C-alpha cells in the first residue's frame, strides 16, 4: 500500500469517528408542552448525553444562543440545566402558541429537540354579526396544560341570569398543548335571550363556574346578545 493511501485511510477513520460522536449526542426536555409565562411560570428541564467530556457547550433556542445557556459537560459527557419557558410573544404578537427548537452546540455535536409553549386561549371567528344567527369556527389553545394529553373540550353557555343554559362538547384537543379548531357551526345552537352571556370553555362535562381560585383549567369569553 502506498503511503498516501495510508494517510487517506487514517483521515477517513478520523472523520467517521467524529461523525459517529456527533450522531451519538442527544438532548431532551422533561415535557413537550409548557405554559406561556403570561399565564404561568413553567421551567424547562434540559438534559443531554453523548457529548465530549469536560468541554464547554452553548444552548440555543430557534438557532440563537440562549441567554445564560453556557456550561461545561461532566466527566461522562452529560449536561443538565433549566430555564423559564420563553413567551410566545418573543416570536409573534398574534400567535397563541409556538414550537421552539432547542439545541446544544459543542463542536460537531449539535443535536436538537423541540417543545411547544402555549397561551390558554379560546376565541371564535367571525365576530361581526348577530350572535343569535352567527356561524363561526372556535379556536382553542393550551387545553392540555394540566397534563391531560387529549382532553375533551366543553362549552358552557351561561345566561344573563348566571345559570348555565346549555353545555356542548366541541371536540378533543390534540397536539402537544391541546389545540382544537372546530368546523363552522352556530355560535349559539339555540335561541339565546337578550343580555350578557358568558361562554366558559373547559374540560369538564358538568359546569362549575371558573374563578381565580379554581383548580381546573378554563377560559371565558363574553358575548352580548341584543
Q: Are strands 121-125 and 185-186 parallel, antiparallel or unpaired?
A: unpaired
Query: Average pLDDT in the 122-140 region?
Result: 97
Phi and psi (nearest 5°) for 138?
-90, 140
More confident call, 101 vs 12? 101
% of the chain with per-residue pLDDT over 70: 90
Indicate the pLDDT class of residue 9, thresholds 50, 70 and 90: very low
Residue 1 within any structural domain of the chain = no
Integer Cα distance of 110 and 155 in angstroms: 44
Q: Does 83 share its domain with 142?
A: no
Identify the band that residue 11 occupies on the pLDDT scale cut at 50, 70 and 90: very low
How many domains does the chain contain in total?
2
Write down the mean pLDDT value for the chain. Answer: 91
Cβ atoms of 198 and 160 closer than 8 Å: no
Q: Are residues 61 and 125 in the same domain?
A: no
* Residue 21 domain flag: no
Handedness of CA 207, 208, 209, 213 (dihedral sign): negative
Do 95 and 171 sit in the same domain of this protein? no
- List the domain range (segments joined by +) for residue 34: 26-118
User: Could you tell me the CATH number of the domain that includes residue 88?
Assistant: 2.60.40.10
Residue 73 placed within a domain: yes
- Number of other CB atoms surrounding residue 162 within 10 Å: 8
Q: How many residues does the chain have?
A: 226
Residues 219 and 161 both lie in one domain: yes
Is the pLDDT at 4 greater than 50? The verdict is no
**C-alpha neighbours within 13 Å on the C-beta side of residue 38:** 13
Residue 211 lies in a domain: yes
**Residue 8: per-residue pLDDT:** 35
Q: Which of 3-17, 21-35, 77-91, 126-140 has the lowest mean pLDDT?
A: 3-17
Amino acid at each position: 500500500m502506498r503511503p498516501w493511501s495510508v494517510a487517506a485511510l487514517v483521515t477517513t477513520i478520523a472523520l467517521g469517528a467524529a461523525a459517529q460522536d456527533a450522531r451519538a449526542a442527544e438532548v431532551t426536555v422533561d415535557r413537550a408542552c409548557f405554559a406561556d409565562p403570561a399565564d404561568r411560570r413553567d421551567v424547562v428541564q434540559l438534559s443531554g448525553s453523548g457529548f465530549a467530556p469536560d468541554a464547554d457547550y452553548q444552548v440555543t433556542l430557534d438557532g440563537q444562543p440562549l441567554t445564560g445557556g453556557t456550561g461545561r459537560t461532566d466527566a461522562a459527557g452529560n449536561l443538565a440545566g433549566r430555564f423559564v419557558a420563553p413567551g410566545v410573544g418573543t416570536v409573534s404578537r398574534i400567535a397563541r402558541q409556538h414550537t421552539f427548537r432547542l439545541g446544544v452546540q459543542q463542536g460537531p455535536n449539535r443535536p436538537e429537540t423541540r417543545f411547544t409553549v402555549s397561551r390558554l386561549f379560546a376565541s371564535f371567528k367571525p365576530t361581526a354579526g348577530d350572535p343569535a344567527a352567527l356561524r363561526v369556527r372556535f379556536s382553542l389553545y393550551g387545553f392540555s396544560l394540566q397534563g391531560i394529553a387529549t382532553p375533551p373540550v366543553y362549552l358552557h353557555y351561561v345566561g344573563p341570569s348566571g345559570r348555565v343554559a346549555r353545555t356542548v362538547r366541541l371536540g378533543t384537543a390534540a397536539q402537544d398543548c391541546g389545540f382544537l379548531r372546530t368546523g363552522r357551526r352556530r355560535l349559539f345552537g339555540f335561541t339565546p335571550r337578550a343580555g350578557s352571556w358568558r361562554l366558559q370553555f373547559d374540560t369538564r362535562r358538568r359546569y362549575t363556574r371558573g374563578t381565580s381560585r379554581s383548580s381546573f383549567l378554563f377560559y371565558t369569553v363574553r358575548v352580548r346578545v341584543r
